[in-house]
Chains A and B, each alone.
Chain A
Amino acid sequence: MSAGAFRTATGGRIDRTHTLRFTFDGRPLQGCAGDTLASALLANGRHLVGRSFKYHRPRGIVTSGSEEPNALVTVVRDGGRTTPNLRATQVELYDGLTAISQNRWPSLTRDLGAINDKLSLMFPAGFYYKTFMGPRFLPENWAWTKVFEPAIRRAAGLGRAPTSADPDRYASRYAHCDVLVAGAGPAGLAAALAAAEAGARVIVADEQSEMGGSLLSASRGAINGVPTAQCAADALAQLAGHARVRLLPRTTVFGYFAQNMAGLAERISDHDPSPDPEGPRERLWQVRARHVVIATGAIERPLVFSNNDRPGIMLAGAALTYLNRYGVTPGQRAVIAGSHDGIYAAALDLAGVGVEVAAVLDTRADPQSAAMAAALDAGLPIRTGTCIVGSRGHLRVSEIMIGAPMADGSIRDAGRIPCDCLLMSGGWTPSVHLFSQSRGKLRFDAAAGVFLPGVSAQSETSAGACGGASGLAAVIESGAAAGRTAAQACGFGLGRARAYRVEGILEATEATGHVNAPRLPQGMAKAFVDFQNDVTSRDLELAAREGFRSIEHIKRYTTTGMATDQGKTSNMNALALVSGTLNTTVPDVGLTTFRQPYTPVTFGTLAGMARGDLFDPIRRTSIDGWAQGKGAAFEDVGTWKRAWYFPRAKEDMHAAVARECRTVRAAVGVFDASTLGKIEVVGPDAAEFLERMYVNAFKALKPGRCRYGILLNEAGFVIDDGVIARLAQDRFHVTTTTGGAASVLNMMEDYLQTEWPDLQVWLTSTTEQWAVIAVQGPRARDVIAPLVDGADVGGEALPHMSVCEAKVAGVPARLFRVSFTGELGFEINVPVGAGRSVWEAVAARVEDAGGCAYGTEAMHVLRAEKGYIIVGQETDGTVIPEDLGLGWAIGKSKADFVGRRSLVRPDMIRTDRKQLVGLLTRGRDVLLDDGAQVTSVAAPAKGTAALGHVTSSYHSSVLGKSIALALVRGGRGLMGQRLHVPMPKGAVEVEVVSPVFYDPKGEKLNG
């Protein structure tokens, strides 16, 4: 059982005795253990695996690695475990694997979207920018958003994302090492061995399931007398024996970041037929390496000719890999073509297993090489000075047309060759992606026609083919040298150099080979440069004709190199074509930036555990459990969960909030204010420091008294507020808004450390140390008095805006007499550990007094009834204290405070600034929208500036009407006047009133 008609009888690294069943588009097929999905499909004679992005052309497998542009498939395990856009060349086969092709309907062989191929004249380069303009009588962008974009989105594209949540787990690790080796081919293995033997801690990462790279694909040759594949196994065994070496197969070094930080994506379970449900699927490694050896090899380039994208046309190097590593032949009758010696090795190996070699076509006129000589000796039909001009076939190549380039630049027809596969090689492009990501400067090697690493920006070395080494001996040599250099850079001795003797290799003497810039016959033919984005040579020529000169612009105009493969196989061909069209050199056209990630990385890997409940920390107060027990609804305030309202049987939010508000005004309410930011400001200069920070005067504040503090930024705008209590001559208890706690402390530290380092002040965040229980309402004193021990809570001993220390319910407390409701109020601060028990004691008495617990929504309504502002609601970073009617808070005799200078700028002293006012609607139940604009007439002409906007709007059950706060231009001068608030259902007429709706004289504060 060889699992496939195109499987060789022997050879390769697959296990022919271990058959694996899988399906492709529902069709049952068989492969072998060790196969990739791509090699298994090819073994079954399947080249056609997908449809192209734009023209829906039939496409086959082109490569054998992560650079694959065509063979994108969806692998289905179950609902949430459906992964689209996987490269079949990297999907390891397992028993029961289910794969489906993408971007076709109704089926891969009969795809209606292929009509696009016939209509291709409609889709030239930049068609986005040229077409899809709607008739002028329709609104701007209508045609695009309503017609064209949805149609294009349906027709074009890649696989579909699953609709259910990803059920898998993703892990994340940090690691440090001396030497990180990216790529475990011959250069990487030699480097890792040299570095490890010098004593360095080494991490070796390779994107494939099996390490060894090109050593696993070679059919001949030996290193120190040992066959290449065995050499790889020996090197890996030695590395595994070093305690300081970590080998990470199936791990892509996808990003090279600052200061030798590398991002690695490890695929842990995708190859496993029944993965451990508790284990992670993938792991993100963030590795800080002292030195990085980049050994990422080179990528073979396709040839550019008409219809070069038919299934059955593949890279010669890929064919060698399928043959020698997977025991798969690409067809029965092959044409091998290119401008590089690799074609002879491929031809010899294929002929060796009985594949008919119809022709070996070398575009070079007179290639002198050992490889060619060997092919001639074997009697292979070689034609030099010959190029391919086209191909035929529908779902598979059936024939290729060849031509002979003439001296005058024309191409003479040289006949046709029937075949079922074409193996091509336009030379090899060094994989300089990671080097470029490290911000190293590339240089263009004109002789080889490729970009190579030039000036390093970080501590790294490029080894092997990606560094320009050519031929196995040179590749290994440069790897070993890089490993020694790396170890030395980390402070280790040079150690003994290993000797590598390479024999029997039949390979390119010239690693790269010039790009074969094609001359195409006129007509409709498509010669693809970027397979994945369907960009043809004509698109690039058109862009050049239309005046684009820089590759950065051409790339964006034509989308060449912008697909998920980032142009790994296409960029050099595109550069060669453009430079040829513009009659300039490749470096003059420039090179686009290589960006992370090298290959696509799942969001799961990047997110790791930071999802769902672990996405952001959730902060809960010590009283949270009590509120949950009472069935409170919660709202998010920053990262805090705050009790929003406490619905009773059958109450909706509106009813619950209305009841809570009425209860506070009529009797008493208890409120969890623990989330307020709290900063302890201590030291001999504490008062001086607060005077400089806040607008208020603090030096005159007596211990035991509180003041409402307003904090500005230097531009004069209100950024925070809160009650500040002086506990002692040198000690203040500062409160901030819930959301401002961290930023206010940061700002205070900034001024203290850098502007006034001479002040003796210490700042400590105490937000999480105090539970704060607000008791508000006419019966507040009755409720708390029996619980307080050691202090007089009477109105004379503890007047409004004062503080004392006492025991409350047996717990040492800071007891504030403050109010954010306009009622008689206390805020009990107790150590957070006692928060719940004190709350329960207080809440029980509140209940007995006919009161209730209230949430943040009632708190908002109650404060709005009093015209108390909330920073961030009544303010937006452009509001000064005077705008809010809070000018009284400013310490007028103070020489300086943060923001003071800005308050006398000409714009700040204008009388027509937006000012805080109240708005009443004529209909008592009409609720204005938060943020709605305020205008002078009901239907202002287009372009009229608004007078202001609604900042807060609530229904007040206590007042029996809706109320709103607003910032209105010159608002305090408009009292009693009628303005308008345009709303979706028409403008609402409003009357401008004082922002204090309830108890304007403030008598209730005194109980």
Chain B
Amino acid sequence: MLLIHCPYCAMERPEIEFRHAGEAHVARAPDPSQLDDETWAEFLYFRSNPKGVHAERWRHVHGCGRFFNALRDTVSDRLLVTYKAGEVRPELPPQEHSR
């Protein structure tokens, strides 16, 4: 069971308090009606699924209730960093996710 740092509670809490919420930084267009079908399908269905560092959303559903973002290495299943919704994706030092 992972320990996850909630950036709002500023504490590390066990995974069972959280729920995964899909890939992060997939922004909904301010006016989707302006998008063509292909771009809209991209938004709806296409996700990156990388081997390595993945930006994803979590919700502290049994805690503060806030959605936040995390960088997780999908190879090691390590959460490298968590940050608040709306913040830019942080740069990682190169050695952080080499293992």
Contacts and interface: CB of A to CB of B under 8 A. Distances in A.
Interface string A450-478: 00000101000000000000000000000
Contacts of A259: 1-3
A518 B90 CA distance: 57
A750 interface: yes
B35 interface: yes
B67 A754 contact: yes
B2 A258 contact: yes
Interface residues of A, number: 26
Nearest to A286: B1
Interface in B1-31: 1-3, 19, 21, 27-28, 31
B33 A902 contact: no
B24 to A, nearest CB: 9
A746 B33 contact: no
Nearest to A260: B3
Contacts of B67: 749-750, 753-754
Contacts of B83: none
A896 interface: yes
A901 B35 contact: yes
Nearest to A751: B28
A352 interface: no
Interface in B35-92: 35, 37, 40, 43-44, 57, 59, 61, 65-67, 76-78, 85-86
A895 B35 CA distance: 13
B33 A261 contact: no
Interface string A422-457: 000000000000000001000000000000000101
Contact of A749 (B27, B33, B65): B65
A905 B40 CA distance: 9
B44 A714 contact: yes
Nearest to A901: B32
B99 A258 contact: no
A1003 interface: no
Given A714-B44, A905-B37, A746 B2 contact: no
Contact of B33 (A288, A457, A896): A896
A455 B44 CA distance: 41
Interface string A892-928: 0001100011101110000000000000000000000
Contacts of A906: 37
A254 to B, nearest CB: 15
Contacts of A905: 37, 40
Contact of B86 (A457, A757, A904): A757
A288 B12 CA distance: 13
A902 B3 contact: no
Contacts of A755: 27-28
A257 interface: yes
Contacts of B40: 901-902, 905
Given A896-B31, A901-B32, A753 B66 contact: yes
Contact of B77 (A258, A754, A902): A258
A286 B3 CA distance: 13
A93 to B, nearest CB: 37
A901 B78 CA distance: 37
Nearest to A455: B99
A259 B86 CA distance: 28
Contacts of A749: 59, 65, 67
Contacts of A257: 1
B59 A746 contact: yes
Contacts of A902: 40, 44
Contacts of A896: 31-33
B56 to A, nearest CB: 13
B21 A750 contact: yes
Contacts of B99: 455, 457
B46 to A, nearest CB: 13
A591 to B, nearest CB: 18
A582 interface: no
A715 interface: yes
Given A259-B2, A261-B1, A754-B85, A895 B33 contact: yes
B31 A895 contact: yes
Given A746-B61, A900-B33, A753 B3 contact: no
B30 to A, nearest CB: 8
Contacts of B57: 754
Interface in A739-781: 746, 749-750, 753-755, 757
B44 A715 contact: yes
B28 A439 contact: no
A474 to B, nearest CB: 29
B9 to A, nearest CB: 15
Contacts of A258: 1-2, 77-78
A607 B43 CA distance: 40
Contacts of A261: 1
Contacts of B66: 753
B55 to A, nearest CB: 13
Interface in A282-318: 286, 288
Nearest to B2: A258
Contacts of A895: 31, 33
A715 B40 CA distance: 9
Contacts of B37: 905-906
A789 B57 CA distance: 49
A439 B44 contact: no
Contacts of A901: 32-33, 35, 40
Contacts of A439: 76
A288 B99 CA distance: 22
Contacts of B31: 895-896
A753 B85 contact: yes
A894 B78 CA distance: 44
Contacts of A753: 66-67, 85
A963 to B, nearest CB: 36
Contacts of A750: 21, 59, 67
Interface string A685-729: 000000000000000000000000000001100000000000000
A259 B76 CA distance: 11
Contacts of B61: 746
Contacts of A754: 57, 67, 85-86
Interface in A127-182: none
A756 to B, nearest CB: 9
Contacts of B35: 901
Report which residue of A288, A455, A753 has the largest number of chain B beta carbons within 10 angstroms of its beta carbon.
A753
A258 B57 CA distance: 19
Contacts of B21: 750
Nearest to B1: A261
Nearest to B45: A715
A13 to B, nearest CB: 38
A901 B32 CA distance: 6
Contacts of B76: 439, 457
B25 to A, nearest CB: 10
A900 B32 CA distance: 8
Report which residue of A896, A900, A906 has the largest number of chain B beta carbons within 10 angstroms of its beta carbon.
A896
B70 to A, nearest CB: 14
Contacts of A904: 33
B60 to A, nearest CB: 11
B97 to A, nearest CB: 13
Contacts of B32: 896, 900-901
A457 B76 CA distance: 8
Nearest to A288: B3
A441 to B, nearest CB: 9
Interface of A: 257-259, 261, 286, 288, 439, 455, 457, 714-715, 746, 749-750, 753-755, 757, 895-896, 900-902, 904-906
13 contacts: A257-B1, A258-B77, A258-B78, A259-B2, A288-B3, A455-B99, A457-B99, A714-B44, A746-B61, A750-B67, A757-B86, A896-B32, A906-B37
6 cross-chain pairs, A with B, having the tightest CB-CB distances, nearest first: A901-B32, A753-B67, A754-B85, A259-B3, A261-B1, A258-B2
Interface of B: 1-3, 19, 21, 27-28, 31-33, 35, 37, 40, 43-44, 57, 59, 61, 65-67, 76-78, 85-86, 99
